[in-house]
Amino acid sequence: MRKESRLIRWIWWIVVVAALFFLGFVIGWFAKPSHANNVNSSASSKYLKEFLDEMQPDQIREHLRKFTRLPHLAGTEQNLRYAEQIKKEWLEFGLDSVEMVPYDVLLSYPNKSQPNYISIVDRFGNEVFNTSLAEPVPEGYEDVSNIVPPYSAFSAKGQPEGDLVYVNYGRTEDFFQLEREMGINVTGKIVIVRYGKIFRGNKVKNAMLVGAKGIIMFSDPADYWAAGVQPYPDGWNLPGGGAQRGNVLNLNGAGDPLTPGYPAKEYTYRFSLDAGVGLPKIPVHPIGFQDAVHLLRKMGGQIPPNNWKGALDVSYRIGPGFTDDFKSQKVRMNIYTNNQVTRIYNVIGRIRGALEPDRYVILGGHRDAWVFGGIDPMSGVAVVHETVRSAGRLLSKGWRPRRTIIFASWDAEEFGLLGSTEWAEDNAKLLQERAVAYINADSAIEGMYTLRVDCTPSLHTLVYDLTKQIASPEEEEVGVSLYESWHKRDNWTNDRDAPRISKLGSGSDFEAYFIRLGIAAGRARYTKNKDSSVLCVFVCIQKTERYSSYPVYHSVYETFEIVQKFYDPSFKRLRAVAQVRGGLIFQLADSQVLPLDVNEYADSLRKYAQSIAQLAQKHPEEMKMFDVSFDSLFSAVENMTFASRDFHERLQALNRADPLQVRVMNDQLMYLERAFIDPLGLPGRPFYRHVIFAPSSHNKYAGESFPGIYDALFDIENSDDPGKSWEEVKRQISIAAFTVHAAAMTLTPPA
């Protein structure tokens, strides 16, 4: 071989070797995934289907049966036992960790040796009538002990005696009407009020404001009977001997009344009872309509307008006091209820997130019940239990969510959302920095008609997407999705052709998470037909209420059987609710990009701003005189709209292979809700801090957004100094505009 030829051969060899090497190198380079969390979204959705399919009606039935055998009031031995059982079972289901988290909060119980009741007394002080000391116990539960009789938790003690005044629902407008139109002064009287329309604690607050020395609350059949339905146990209406328990605090989100702002730990400083938040200063007591009739039928005074009349066979006279025949008789309340600092227990379970352990998706609901809690809250507890079981099954198959999931069984919700609020206070910094969303799990059913969802606007799209993947639970609807079933029954009417989603109100455990901390939140349950006239009494309550209701609400008749016999015999409705609640946390925890839609938030804000501006327009001259304008708010809403559109466009272009780029945009999505929190709180309510979605102080505007502006407008209508009130309106518009601008800013590119 010649030298040249050899050289050429060598060169050729080197070229080949280099080329092969280079080819290998290039393929190796590109074959390597640029990062491990390049999530396979079809794998995730396969797991979603498995997760939803795993949930079984029979299992939910079992869970509900198991946890409704005994009364388990907050602070009692039995409620601790259920907590321990939940902890044990959640661990068996496969959660990574479950812990009991105790707090020492102010609770309130009747005095066991001195029962509460209300009497009619004659001129000699003899009790000629006494209300019942307990509800008749339903069949099968006769031997159960520790059923707490109906009472108003945190009532003041006392034996006030005096004349009755009937005050309808005890709303602000009822008291205005009483005072201004009927000319009746309530000072020093005992008021009798029917349950409904507003939160009972507000009735008590209103009664105190007008100087009443006691307040009796009763369930009128007009509000707690559905037409054509038998009372329990033959149907699901409230028996005449049944009464609604409940706390009568005005906490405005403070949690434990003695430790506002801080968790009620052993070392925590406690205010004295006098300085406690929201404790009523007058005795309060609830009765059933069987007892109420005895008080009402003797009453004298004016006949009220028709909308003050309930469905009892009495005239609903206003008083004060009884008719001439019974003039010498008075009403006496005998209330011996005690406040006492008591240990409560939350159960907190966790699934550690695989890639972002410091991002939390929370599913929380309370465990404590007034008695058995067949509906409230155990229908929710059963649903959460089944969700945990299903998640555990997935874990055993190798699934692990991208983010951390936290399951919470709250204690003492019935005493003012105490367990959930104390835990939120305890973990405020972590939650503020890390919580993606909070899904609430109180009662899972309150009717037999269709789904009801209340949530923050950014969850709308996820709720729709998810319910399209869930089957309708209605027997006759084979092959129909929950979305279709729901849409058919409750369309959003004028606004849009989609199932109606409502705003989140207040009155359940999401308050501290949503209204105080600004964590995106939602709730879902099965509900009744709002449009049906037979049930209109409930509908009217639904639309604007701080609480939800069904006839046996908070009575001893909330049993396992009422669910099994009437509300959900197949347990498919509860399964559907489990799939919605569970599906929400699954998608929030496992999607690579958070399934939050900020355009929906912008759209909602525009509607809310239009509503409030329209209301203010009722006073065109004054708006001119005091130079009031909503321009800044509308301008902020436009800014938000633009920022949202732009954000979603950038989201489309996101390089999902870059974990930091994904995290940056997810953080913007997560923190959007936080942007609506004003650290200074709403006027006089430091723990209600959500500028858009806190409840208004006035029941008149209970369902409205922008509570600060509504509250100020309310004062205009009811104040002696409209100039000052308009100044407050202007200040609140300015705060709202600033807040919406700030929210828009969080969506712009971060640098």
Stretch that binds a copy of itself, among 71-79, 181-189, 352-360, 375-383 (CB under 8 A): 352-360
Within 685-704, which residues bind a copy of itself (CB under 8 A)? 686
Binding-site member from 69, 434, 565, 645 for a copy of itself (CB under 8 A)? 434
Within 607-636, which residues bind a copy of itself (CB under 8 A)? 631-632, 635
Cα 248 to Cα 198, 245, 427, 593, distances in angstroms: 12, 10, 27, 43
346 forms bridges with which residues in the sheet? Answer: 101
Backbone phi and psi for residue 587, each to the nearest 5 degrees, phi listed first: -70, -35
**Cβ neighbours for 677, distance < 8 A, ≥ 6 positions apart:** 516, 517, 518, 689, 690, 691
Q: Which residues are catalytic?
A: 413, 629, 667, 690
353 binds a copy of itself (CB under 8 A): yes
Q: Which amino acid is residue 266, in one-letter code?
A: E
Is residue 445 helix, strand or coil? strand
User: Which residue from 419, 434, 560, 591 is spatially nearest to 48, judged by alpha carbons?
Assistant: 591
338 binds a copy of itself (CB under 8 A): no
Q: Considering beta carbons, is residue 188 or 749 the nearer one to a copy of itself? A: 749
684 binds a copy of itself (CB under 8 A): no
679 binds a copy of itself (CB under 8 A): yes
Tokens 């807040």: give the residue: 739
Within 708-737, which residues bind a copy of itself (CB under 8 A)? 730-731, 733-735, 737
Binding-site member from 127, 358, 495, 717 for a copy of itself (CB under 8 A)? 358
Stretch that binds a copy of itself, among 47-55, 571-579, 605-613, 671-679 (CB under 8 A): 671-679
Stretch that binds a copy of itself, among 117-125, 187-195, 226-234, 351-359 (CB under 8 A): 351-359
Distance from chain centroid for Cα 271: 27
Binding-site member from 88, 265, 496, 724 for a copy of itself (CB under 8 A)? 265
- The DSSP 8-state label assigned to residue 237 in this structure reads B
Binding-site member from 62, 433, 465, 638 for a copy of itself (CB under 8 A)? 433
Binding-site member from 7, 8, 430, 534 for a copy of itself (CB under 8 A)? 430
Contact 704, 487 (CB under 8 A): no
Q: Which amino acid is residue 274, in one-letter code?
A: D
Q: Considering beta carbons, is residue 495 or 721 the nearer one to a copy of itself? A: 721
Q: Considering beta carbons, is residue 615 or 742 the nearer one to a copy of itself? A: 742
Tell me the closest approach of the beta carbon of residue 347 to a copy of itself, in angstroms. Answer: 17
**Cβ neighbours for 412, distance < 8 A, ≥ 6 positions apart:** 74, 75, 105, 107, 344, 366, 368, 418, 419
Tell me the closest approach of the beta carbon of residue 641 to a copy of itself, in angstroms. Answer: 18
Q: Considering beta carbons, is residue 76 or 668 the nearer one to a copy of itself? A: 668
E strands present in 471-590 = 521-527
Stretch that binds a copy of itself, among 173-181, 387-395, 425-433, 568-576 (CB under 8 A): 425-433
Backbone phi and psi for residue 318, each to the nearest 5 degrees, phi listed first: -80, -30
Stretch that binds a copy of itself, among 232-240, 429-437, 564-572, 601-609 (CB under 8 A): 429-437
Within 633-652, which residues bind a copy of itself (CB under 8 A)? 635
Tell me the closest approach of the beta carbon of residue 1 to a copy of itself, in angstroms. Answer: 18
Tokens 């604007």: give the residue: 544
Stretch that binds a copy of itself, among 171-179, 239-247, 545-553, 666-674 (CB under 8 A): 666-674
User: Which DSSP string corresponds to 649-667?
Assistant: HHHHT--TT-HHHHHHHHH
Q: Considering beta carbons, is residue 576 or 585 the nearer one to a copy of itself? A: 585
**Cβ neighbours for 589, distance < 8 A, ≥ 6 positions apart:** 351, 353, 361, 401, 402, 403, 404, 405, 436
Residue span 2-31 as binding mask against a copy of itself, x where in contact by CB under 8 A, dash where not: ---------------x--xxxxxxxxxx-x
> Between 707-717 and 598-616, two packed helices, what is the crossing angle to 10 degrees?
10
User: Which residue from 455, 262, 420, 287 is spatially nearest to 348, judged by alpha carbons?
Assistant: 420
Tell me the closest approach of the beta carbon of residue 335 to a copy of itself, in angstroms. Answer: 29
First to last CA, the chain: 67
Residue span 34-53 as binding mask against a copy of itself, x where in contact by CB under 8 A, dash where not: xxxx----------------
326 binds a copy of itself (CB under 8 A): no
Q: Considering beta carbons, is residue 561 or 728 the nearer one to a copy of itself? A: 728
User: Which residue from 500, 459, 504, 507 is spatially nearest to 483, judged by alpha carbons?
Assistant: 500
427 binds a copy of itself (CB under 8 A): yes
Q: Considering beta carbons, is residue 58 or 658 the nearer one to a copy of itself? A: 658
Within 68-97, which residues bind a copy of itself (CB under 8 A)? 96
Binding-site member from 357, 507, 703, 722 for a copy of itself (CB under 8 A)? 357
Count interface residues toward a copy of itself (CB under 8 A).
72
Q: Considering beta carbons, is residue 24 or 140 the nearer one to a copy of itself? A: 24
Q: Considering beta carbons, is residue 645 or 731 the nearer one to a copy of itself? A: 731
Stretch that binds a copy of itself, among 3-11, 319-327, 648-656, 668-676 (CB under 8 A): 668-676
Q: Considering beta carbons, is residue 328 or 734 the nearer one to a copy of itself? A: 734
Longest dimension (CA), the chain: 138
Tell me the closest approach of the beta carbon of residue 622 to a copy of itself, in angstroms. Answer: 17
- The DSSP 8-state label assigned to residue 321 in this structure reads S
Per the document, the length of the chain is: 751
User: Which DSSP string corresponds to 491-525?
Assistant: B-TTS-SSB--BPP-SSSTTHIIIIIT---EEEEE
**Cβ neighbours for 223, distance < 8 A, ≥ 6 positions apart:** 194, 195, 196, 310, 537, 541
Neighbours of 720 (CB within 10 A): 6
Tell me the closest approach of the beta carbon of residue 350 to a copy of itself, in angstroms. Answer: 6
Q: Considering beta carbons, is residue 128 or 430 the nearer one to a copy of itself? A: 430
Within 136-155, which residues bind a copy of itself (CB under 8 A)? none
User: Which DSSP string corresponds to 100-164?
Assistant: EEEEEEEEEE--TTS--EEEEE-TTS-EEEE--SSPPPPTT-TT----PPS-EETPPPB--EE-E
Stretch that binds a copy of itself, among 124-132, 307-315, 335-343, 349-357 (CB under 8 A): 349-357
